[in-house]
């Protein structure tokens, strides 16, 4: 990652590097905040005297609110500016956790989850609008990959950080300290001189783009594409361990090691995918190729019983390929967005992720309830195949000019 940042620094001003750092830290916060409430379930269960069903309700509310507000927030980003919206989102998420820490109750937990969902809807539209406007065109893929990797990292370290905070200051103290991170990062955005995007910074472009519909066939296809991406990985991430144990005879430790390898390789794949995205204009073919291989690997896992070593290798390769496509995926959206409409474009397609996040747990939970653990991987492979087909749908480019001829995919 140091080399990636250095590469950006060699060709861009200090402002561009500071912008990338600041926006990536903001993305770290967004993923960190997603895991704060689940990591504190033991505290809430004891303090509030509720069951796990009641504790699942706030997570559903978080997902629904975030899904419903992604697109409207994207429109707001393009109208009033991405930096202001990002700062408000960081502060809203942080203060909602502080509020819950100061006065913990079940009703406060519900309110906190709703506010966190609203705050979560800010990051993709605002972050990508700023990055799209201020990063070097020739290194945009690497900038996107660093941003995505920072989000992965925020989720990865959340359990350890929250556990440490609970050990030091208890559940309420953990909420308050975690909540303070958001406003502090908001201040950091101004200290680092993070530039704006959207709003007045786009001038006539914003006025013209506001009259153009972003709900083009490309955007609708990309939204479905994002939903399928979410569905293809959510089953493995959420139910992979129990599926491997129930249907494949894997031990708890072997199943967890396999899932850890999948998730860790995904993060590494994101960084590798940034280099690949900067060296091709055929982002759809990249996504389709990676997911075609991925579908084959996951299908092997679904239909055979691999030994521990073979399973570890298969899960590692599958995770790496899942990560590789992330920067190309983001470039697809950027290139499909009308000028001055990056916030709306990323807000709309990110709704697909939220829809997948709502449908996935219910679907894969039902599969496990039917005692069909092999279908956790089988359904994931099916969604990957659909993703491949959708990535190859040709559409005319309507957004930023690509670095080369746009062939075969949604706009490149």
| Residue written as token pair 């072997």 | 254
pLDDT top residue among 295 and 337: 295
Distance of alpha carbon 340 from alpha carbon 197, whole angstroms:
9
Contact 323, 59 (CB under 8 A): no
pLDDT digits (tens, 9 = 90+) for 4-36: 555 544 444 567 788 899 999 999 999 999 989
Provide the pLDDT for residue 107.
Answer: 95
CA pair distance 37, 108, nearest whole angstrom: 12
CATH class of this structure's domain 214-391:
mainly alpha
Work out whether the CA dihedral 128, 129, 135, 140 comes out positive or negative: positive
Provide the percentage of residues in the chain whose pLDDT is more than 70: 88
pLDDT digits (tens, 9 = 90+) for 241-289: 788 888 888 887 888 788 888 888 888 888 888 887 777 777 778 788 8
In whole numbers, what is the pLDDT of the chain averaged over residues? 82
Instruction: Give the model's pLDDT for residue 153.
Output: 86
* Contact of 211 with 340, CB cutoff 8 Å: no
Mean pLDDT over residues 348-377, rounded? 84
From the list 353, 28, 86, 383, the residue with the least C-alpha distance to 223 is 353
Closest Cα partner for 140 from 338, 330, 350, 347?
Answer: 330
Residues of the chain with CATH 1.20.1250.20: 14-209, 214-391
**Residue (of 212, 217, 234, 275) closest to 361 by Cα position:** 234
123, 86 contact by CB (below 8 A): yes
Cα-based torsion angle of the residue sequence 306, 312, 315, 318 in order, rounded to the nearest 10 degrees: -110
d(CA 203, CA 133): 13
Element (H, E) at 374: helix 374-391
Closest C-alpha to 335, from 275, 227, 409: 409
Nearest to 339 by CA among 197, 208, 195: 208
How is the chain split among helix, strand and coil, in percent rounded to 5?
A: 85, 0, 15
Work out the pLDDT band at 383, boundaries 50, 70, 90: very high
pLDDT at 3: 55
DSSP state of 392: T
pTM above 0.75, yes or no: yes
Q: What is the mean pLDDT of residues 125-132?
A: 89
Supply the pLDDT for residue 350: 81
Phi, psi at 249, each rounded to 5°:
75, 15
194 band by pLDDT with thresholds 50, 70 and 90: confident
Contacts of 67 (CB under 8 A, 6+ apart): 351, 354, 355, 357, 358
Can you give the pLDDT at residue 408?
Answer: 35
Instruction: Evaluate whether 380 touches 259 at the Cβ level (below 8 Å).
Output: no
Weakest-pLDDT range from 13-17, 93-97, 129-133:
13-17
Q: Where are the alpha helices (DSSP H) in 249-282?
A: 252-277
* Residues 261, 259: Cα–Cα separation, whole Å: 5
| pLDDT value, residue 256 | 79
Give the Cα separation of 336 and 396 in Å (integer): 8
3-state secondary structure of 1: coil
Instruction: Answer whether 384's CB lies under 8 Å from 298's CB.
Output: yes
Q: Do residues 240 and 369 make contact, with C-beta atoms less than 8 angstroms apart?
A: no
Query: Cβ of 363: how many Cβ atoms within 10 Å?
Result: 18
Closest by CA to 44, choosing from 35, 29, 32, 54, is 54
Residue 202: which pLDDT band, with cuts at 50, 70 and 90? low
**For domain 14-209, which architecture applies?**
Up-down Bundle (1.20)
- Percent of the chain with pLDDT strictly greater than 90: 27
């Amino acid at each position: 990652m140091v080399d990636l940042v250095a590469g950006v620094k060699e060709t861009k001003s200090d402002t561009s590097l500071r912008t990338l750092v600041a926006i990536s830290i903001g993305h770290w916060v967004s993923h960190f905040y997603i895991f704060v409430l689940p990591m504190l379930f033991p505290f809430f269960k004891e303090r509030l005297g509720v069951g796990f069903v009641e504790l699942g309700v706030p997570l559903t509310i978080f997902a629904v609110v975030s899904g419903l507000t992604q697109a409207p927030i994207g429109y707001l980003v393009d109208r009033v500016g991405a930096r202001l919206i990002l700062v408000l989102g960081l502060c809203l998420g942080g203060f909602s956790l502080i509020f819950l820490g100061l006065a913990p109750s079940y009703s406060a937990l519900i309110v906190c989850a709703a506010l966190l969902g609203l705050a979560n809807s800010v990051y993709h539209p605002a972050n990508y609008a700023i990055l799209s406007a201020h990063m070097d065109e020739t290194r945009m893929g690497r900038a996107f990959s660093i941003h995505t990797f920072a989000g992965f990292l925020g989720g990865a370290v959340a359990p350890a950080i929250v556990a440490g905070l609970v050990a030091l200051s208890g559940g309420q103290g953990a909420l308050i300290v975690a909540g303070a991170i958001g406003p502090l990062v908001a201040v950091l955005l101004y200290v680092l001189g993070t530039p704006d995007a959207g709003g007045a910074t786009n001038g006539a472009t914003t006025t013209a783009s506001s009259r153009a519909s972003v709900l083009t066939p490309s955007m609708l296809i990309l939204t479905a594409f994002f939903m399928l991406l979410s569905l293809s990985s959510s089953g493995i991430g959420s139910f992979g361990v129990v599926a491997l144990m129930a249907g494949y005879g894997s031990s708890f430790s072997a199943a967890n090691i396999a899932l850890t390898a999948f998730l860790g390789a995904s993060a590494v794949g994101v960084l590798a995918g940034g280099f690949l995205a900067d060296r091709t204009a055929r982002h759809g073919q990249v996504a389709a190729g990676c997911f075609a291989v991925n579908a084959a690997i996951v299908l092997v896992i679904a239909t055979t019983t691999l030994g521990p070593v073979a399973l570890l290798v298969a899960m590692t390769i599958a995770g790496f390929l899942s990560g590789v496509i992330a920067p190309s995926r983001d470039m697809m959206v950027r290139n499909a967005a009308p000028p001055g409409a990056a916030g709306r474009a990323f807000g709309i397609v990110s709704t697909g992720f939220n829809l997948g996040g709502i449908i996935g747990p219910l679907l894969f939970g039902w599969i496990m309830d039917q005692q069909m653990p092999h279908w956790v991987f089988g359904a994931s492979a099916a969604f990957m195949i659909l993703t491949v087909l959708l990535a190859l749908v040709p559409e005319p480019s309507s957004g930023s000019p690509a670095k080369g001829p746009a062939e075969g995919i949604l706009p490149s």
